[in-house]
Amino acid sequence: MEPGCVEPGEFRAPPLEGASDGGPPNFRWYCLDHVRAFNARYNYFNGMTADEIHHAQRPLAGWERETRAFATAGGDRAPRWSDFSDPLDAIAARFRREVAPERSDGKPLSGQDRESLRVLGLAADADRTGLRKRYSDLVRRYHPDRNGGDRSHEAILQKVIAAYQQLRQAPAFM
């Protein structure tokens, strides 16, 4: 509390200089007007050398150590949050991603490649010949000229064409 101020000290400011007696820190408590004045003149870097200031302002400052929630107390013991029981798999299921099977030739597939394969109805292990054959079948099925001028499948045809154009240039089909 600021000397002479009659307002209640509701806002906490950093502790007074010097170590506490082992208990909680000796915070300063100010009214709104005085905490604003304190914040206006407070300098975190006061008393630091240029090297200490540079070290404190690094982009990764503070990320070097584990937080208490993830730190292991006994070395081998798992953190407390790992003991949480999730019998319905309600939380873990949200973060689990289904991984589609990879290709047998080891060529990587991007997310866009997988989506295009899904549009064409092909497996992840399809080859370039299978890709062309499936594309031809789908174009014949959805093209208005093959359906008596019916343009109701035009949106599907556009997706098929875009998927084929994307896949034929993908590294997995080169």
The one-letter code for the residue type at 3 is: P
DSSP 7-62: S---EEEPPPSS--SSSS---EEE-HHHHHHHHHH--TTTT--HHHHHHHTSTTTT
What is the reported pTM?
A: 0.43
Return per-residue pLDDT of the chain as tens, 174 residues.
678 888 888 998 877 765 566 677 778 889 999 999 988 988 888 889 999 999 888 887 777 776 666 655 555 555 555 566 777 777 666 666 555 557 888 788 888 898 999 999 998 888 899 999 999 999 999 888 887 888 888 889 999 999 999 999 998 888
